Structure 1
């Protein structure tokens, strides 16, 4: 009989403007390999939620915690979290509050945030939500390498504005036990060698990486959205990181 211990649930959480749908192609590969994967949409990114602009990082962290418990997570049977891009803030909060529930965290072109971090400290107080920017603007901040025209069209059509409160909220972390959770960094738009250099140099974006007690680096050369550009390879890496046999 398959148990959570031998085949732990894998919780998939995408970054800004994205919901559970962003993992569809990765989910196909994981499901075909009999992996127990659960994609989730964070509060504030559900287009059917008329109050989505009022959602906060705390709301998102609470929802992740509820998803973990709903998947059967416990101290004896922890689960795997896969966090892409801007999902790093709420997932960092969950790692701080409930580290015992997490077997491993897999950061996809992302990484843990440091206490005191704010994603958009200069965002105006009256910004209710931030829509997906034009691609020529977004492309100056993140790589679109490997994405088809169809993928970009789907991104534009399905993107949900990011709540302004999420972008402005400060991340407060107090529990160093989060640093002991086994970690995998899937390095896509920035190679692992460069991330290591930046972490060792104390770069604010990667400051927490140098503090992790157990961290593995996996290079997956592509753009910032590997769930669309290399879904099969990403599913393979997630499976290996979860400590599961790769068939």
Structure 2
């Protein structure tokens, strides 16, 4: 009989960027995680490649890309901002494959939720939201060089990602261990806004295994505080 100890397989870390971004948005975080010996996959979701046709993209394609990266698990799924809808659906499809979900300044969605069902056109452009993002403080902590790179590399967010509703069927997703990383708002503010009925936080109340941790900065901690975010992800992955 062998004396060898059987070790659980290491969880793959799947990094999903929010609106306007590709895998490149995670470069610093991914590099730090790989240096720590982690298996990391950073995604560029369909329609977010330079030159892609955003009008041809569906929410299901985003879900499928995340689901493929998760595989049979185990996986730690890290979703930033507007990728929350597709990430929630992916967890709903494979709750046993995701050992931890990390929501970076965002929140899992509820069944039937759509971010902007009335959005017109082929997609949402960063430029249309730039002034509001700056004035609202979401860009806190970013250097001039980072802001310039953001504007230069951002692509149109496909309209279907905002218009199409989430369809959720498996309540086991609510028991997946989850961490909400509060950056632009504090944990207390997140809870207060959820209590006041903020639609983008509707999923907070139904989760059964979610904790909130604070990483004070703006809405883009993968750029403003990459070392701290990578350490937090690595801790959850362990």
Q: What is the TM-score normalised by the length of structure 1?
A: 0.88
Q: Which residue of 2 aligns with 1:7?
A: 10
Structure 1 SS opposite 2:96: helix
Which one of the candidate residues 84, 87, 91 is aligned to 1:91?
Answer: 87
Matched with 1:132 is: 126
The match for 1:36 is 39
Cα distance in 2 for residues equivalent to 1:215 and 1:96: 15
2:108 match: 112
Cα distance in 2, alignment partners of residues 171 and 40 from structure 1: 20
Q: Is the 8 A contact 2:104 2:182 kept in 1?
A: yes
Q: Is the 8 A contact 1:57 1:90 kept in 2?
A: yes
Maintained 8 Å contact 1:46/1:52: no
> Does the CA-based 8 Å contact 1:53-1:162 persist in structure 2?
no
Deviations 1:4-50 (A, max 9, x none): 9353110000100001000011112111211211101111111143x
CA distance in 2, matches of 1:4, 1:194: 40
> What is the CA-CA distance between 1:232 and the residue it aligns to?
0.2
Is the 8 Å Cα contact of residues 133 and 139 (structure 2) preserved in structure 1?
no
Checking the alignment, whether the CA contact within 8 Å between 1:13 and 1:82 is kept in structure 2 is yes
Alpha-carbon separation, structure 2, partners of 1:141 and 1:115: 28
Match of 1:53 in 2: 55
Cα deviation for residue 68 of structure 1 reads: 1.6
Please tell me whether the aligned partners of residues 47 and 158 of structure 2 are also in contact (alpha carbons under 8 angstroms).
yes
Ranges in structure 1 where 5+ consecutive residues have no aligned partner: none
CA RMSD of aligned residues (A): 1.9
Residue 79 of structure 2 aligns to a residue in which SS? strand
CA contact (8 A) 2:175 2:208 kept: yes
CA 1:177/1:155 → structure 2, altered by over 3 Å: closer, same or farther?
same
Runs of 5+ unmatched residues, structure 2:
none
Displacement of 1:62 after TM fit? Answer: 0.8
**CA shift for structure 1 position 204:** 2.5
The whole-number CA distance in structure 2 between the counterparts of 1:203 and 1:4 is: 43
**Secondary structure of 1:93's partner?**
helix
Q: 1:141 deviation in Å?
A: 5.2
Compute the displacement of 1:207 (Å). 2.1
Q: Alpha-carbon deviations, 1:130-183, whole Å to 9, x = none?
A: 221252233245610000011111111111101112221111222211111110
Q: Distance in 1 between matches of 2:62 and 2:87?
A: 9
Length, aligned pairs only: 233
Q: What does residue 18 of structure 1 align with? A: 21
Instruction: Name the CA distance, whole Å, in 2 between partners of 1:29 and 1:184.
Output: 20
User: What is the TM-score with the length of structure 2 in the denominator?
Assistant: 0.91
* Distance in 1, Cα, partners of 2:225 & 2:97: 29
**Cα distance change on mapping 1:4 and 1:165 into 2, 3 Å:** farther
Rounded to whole Å, the distance in 1 between the matches of 2:9 and 2:211 is: 21
In structure 2, how many angstroms separate the alpha carbons of the residues matched to 1:22 and 1:91?
17
CA distance in 1, matches of 2:196, 2:96: 30
